[in-house]
A and B are shown apart, each in its own frame.
Chain A
Amino acid sequence: MLNDVTFGQYYPAQSFVHKMDPRTKILALIAFIVLLFVSSNFYSLLACVLVISIALAAARVPFGRVLKSVKGIIFIVVFTAVLNLFFHGGETVYAQWWIFRITREGIINTVFLTSRLFFLVMASSVLTLTTTPVALTDGIESLLKPLKYIRFPVHELALIMSIALRFIPTLIDETNRIIAAQKARGADFESGNLFKRIKAIIPILIPLLISAFRRADELGDAMDARCYSGSKNRTKYKKLKFGGRDIVALLVFALLIAGVVLLNIYWAQIFPLINDYIRLS
């Protein structure tokens, strides 16, 4: 059942992007998402394509892997695209039937929306494919650090995330073991109606819960025995380090952002005629 869940999405390789500081990658992703949603014409959207292509090339992740993550959202994308296409409204109407109306604005809007969603998922998967879950938590913890001053329990949250990550493979193994054991006793998880299937999960769920509590209990003891007493007076061994490649990446990013913003604002003034033709609304 869970055999195919490889833990996380991390794709091991030694690329430029793999070696970047997770914080740079998280910040870059956030910047890219903002960028996607502020690009209001095709040229700035093309600039976004350029950004993601560079990221993909530098990450050296098989393109199929990236597409796989896109596959997951295809239903949502098609659904919203269809809604947009037929119901957006606008002035230049190409076709009309009952309450459905295909307009020029609707088409343009649909293209923007779907490409934004696709690029968003692709960019996020570049992050998760090139960053180990551990590095990701470290990055998030480090970025959330300022929140400490408003008494947000950053350290505790980070510890919880790190322990959760650590126990996911253990609990997956355990689940597989329990499933195998109950299957060996004739349990059937694959047939029957929904109600039957939910009921069939009980012999897995209860032992799993009990084991999780037992593990939590033992882990608590082990942490206590290793002098854990909250975040007070605690030092941190691992410090994330910005390297040369992070500066390069950030510079490239800054340039691209500036480019998109410029395209957005000044395009109209540079090529007023083309722009009139292409502009959204």
Chain B
Amino acid sequence: MSEEYIIDCKNVKFTYSGAVSPAVNNVSLKIKRGEFVSVIGHNGSGKSTLARLLNGLLEAEDGKISVLGMDVAEGKNYLEIRKHIGIVFQNPDNQTVASIVEDDIAFGPENIGIEREEIGRRIEWALSAVGMEKYRNATPTRLSGGQKQRIAVAGVLAIKPDVLILDEATAMLDPKGRREVIEVVSRLNKDEGMTVILITHFMEEALLADRAIVMNKGEIVLEGTPEAIFENGELLETYNLSLPEISIISDKLRACGMEIANVLRPEALAEEIVKNMQNNGIYAGQSSKFNPIAVESAHEWDIDISNLTFTYSKKSPFAAKALRGVNLHIGEGEFFGIIGHTGSGKSTLIQHLNALIRLPQTLKHYRKPKAKKGQPAPVIPAISVGQFDLTSKKCDFKALRASVGMVFQYPEYQLFAETVFADVAFGLKNFNKKITAEETEQAVKSSLEMVGLNYEEVKDKSPFDLSGGQKRRVAIAGVIVTKPHILVLDEPAAGLDPKGKCEIMELLHKIHREWCRTVIIVSHDMDEVAENCTRAAVISEGAVFACESPAMLFKRADELTALGLDIPLTAKISRELAKSGIIIDSDCTVNGFCEGVAEVYKGGANA
């Protein structure tokens, strides 16, 4: 048994039945014990297929895979191999078999016939390895995404594998959850010597590995240290990947004449910038070109929310307060961001905007709360959206829903009709029963074209035959087909690869410019908010923590971090620079930040 390489693949090829081209083609790969390897590639590049081939979930049609000297293709070996290679999959919900954490973790060891007492010890060890000791008797469905995924990692660890594969295990998590999982995995690699294969399309995560492998169309196209890989920016773009944001900023600064070495951490980049400044004779400087936009109020389509409270399962032992007095004003024409981690109440908040959750006073059994003696009068929630008064029973909720389009998370999972045409037309026909066939066709056509799809090509296809990105576009088309004034999107870019993300954000800007006056996005991704939004509200524990322009908001970096939220990379670098006396006052977009830095830099050169 050769112990040098724990995994050894030679010319592996695999084609899904019915597919024209192979999903994995001629892949040769050797992985040493204790290595941390990241595999990056756009959606459909074959990276997940590779993971499944490694532990025998799929069988290679050509080539040889050996794990610890065992041939995966040999029928008897697959169970033995799975003891050595554990995989954590993408969706945290679809990996747990039991309703109690410890039972779920016990599942793997039970399968391989471990003794009871030893299973108990392994559960304890696995839970402490992922930092979830307190949750041994918890219910997985009530945990956050990051916690669920750590439980999934623990469930795999309990089998005591030699190799841990994370198959896009962070793709569906919010930044906090992502950080939790990545920290756990890096620690396992460092402290326990676990061999880790991290499959991801987040470039920032790929940076953590000893070695990165880039896949495109089923083949390995680049291999090397992350630093070396990210020197090939243009090449990466041809593989539908993007550079990590830090490399983009470095490139821009270089274009301004600064000498920036290749670094991967914001602190290091800040140091590089400080060095450049000092070479230019600048020890403290400020760029305050940036003026935050003031929001004018009282337009025709403004949104006003006051004193909004909401409790789920009221009067039951499971009652959960989701909103505790939200006051928010969103002006017409804004590209507004709503930030907050899972469970902060942001989904509940947006569902009030189109009365999917109705205000209590419009419900049948509403009784006006009476003031108790010596206490202030109870506050009554109110929402108005344009001319719609959502506190009124007479409010035309149907018309409201036609005016406030709402795209939920992973909207492609709500497609149902036989053809793309029928699915997009669904909303149109619901809102306007008398619409003619011609009008329908016209609206569907322009809507599909709006989202960048070829009408003639897709209209008769089944929505389920489209690619992931296309499905999402169809789902968005199905909402904007009624030309709503306000478009609300919950995590519109979730689960997409970097290029897909960019395209969706571009699409939203196009919709904002041409069709919908106001766009509201709910997002975890601070860089996304900084790049795109005019203003953003931070929701924390059911209340608005702050509502400002990104520039002002991300100045409060420390407060946001204390809430467990991320800040954009530009804000992180600014914070580091401020420690050296260089204040960059920008709108937190990559361009704005780089311009700010360049201005200070050039100011020194002129002086």
Q: What is A's interface to B at a CB cutoff of 8 Å?
A: 3-4, 6, 11-12, 132-134, 159, 162-163, 165-166, 169-170, 173, 177-178, 180-188, 202-203, 205-207, 210-211, 214-215, 218-219, 221-229, 233-239
Contact = CB atoms under 8 A, between A and B. Distances in A.
Contact of A183 (B94, B96, B356): B356
Contacts of B115: 235
Interface in B336-358: 351, 354, 356
A178 B111 contact: no
Contact of A236 (B110, B398, B417): B110
B307 interface: no
29 contacts: A12-B317, A133-B99, A134-B103, A166-B97, A180-B351, A180-B408, A181-B408, A184-B356, A184-B406, A185-B401, A185-B430, A185-B478, A186-B431, A210-B413, A210-B464, A215-B91, A218-B89, A218-B95, A222-B89, A225-B55, A226-B108, A226-B156, A227-B79, A227-B82, A227-B83, A227-B159, A235-B109, A237-B102, A238-B106
B94 A236 contact: no
Contacts of A181: 406, 408, 411, 414
A14 to B, nearest CB: 13
Given A4-B313, A226-B86, A237-B106, A162 B119 contact: no
A226 B159 contact: yes
Contact of A162 (B82, B99, B112, B405): B99
A225 B167 CA distance: 12
A226 B414 contact: no
Contacts of B96: 166
A185 B426 contact: yes
A170 B148 CA distance: 13
A184 B479 contact: yes
B113 interface: yes
B379 interface: no
Contact of B414 (A182, A225, A227): A182
**B95, B156, B398, B408 — which one has the most chain A CB atoms within 10 A of its CB?**
B95
A169 B148 CA distance: 14
Interface string B306-326: 000000110011100000000
Given A180-B351, A185-B478, A228 B111 contact: yes
Interface residues of B, number: 70
A34 to B, nearest CB: 31
Interface in B15-62: 52, 55, 57
A226 B426 contact: no
A237 B414 contact: no
A210 to B, nearest CB: 7
A239 B79 contact: no
A67 B233 CA distance: 69
A135 to B, nearest CB: 9
Interface in B414-466: 414-417, 426-427, 430-431, 464
B113 A221 contact: no
Given A166-B98, A185-B430, A225-B82, A6 B411 contact: no
A198 to B, nearest CB: 15
Contact of B98 (A162, A227, A236): A162
Given A185-B478, A210-B464, A177 B408 contact: yes
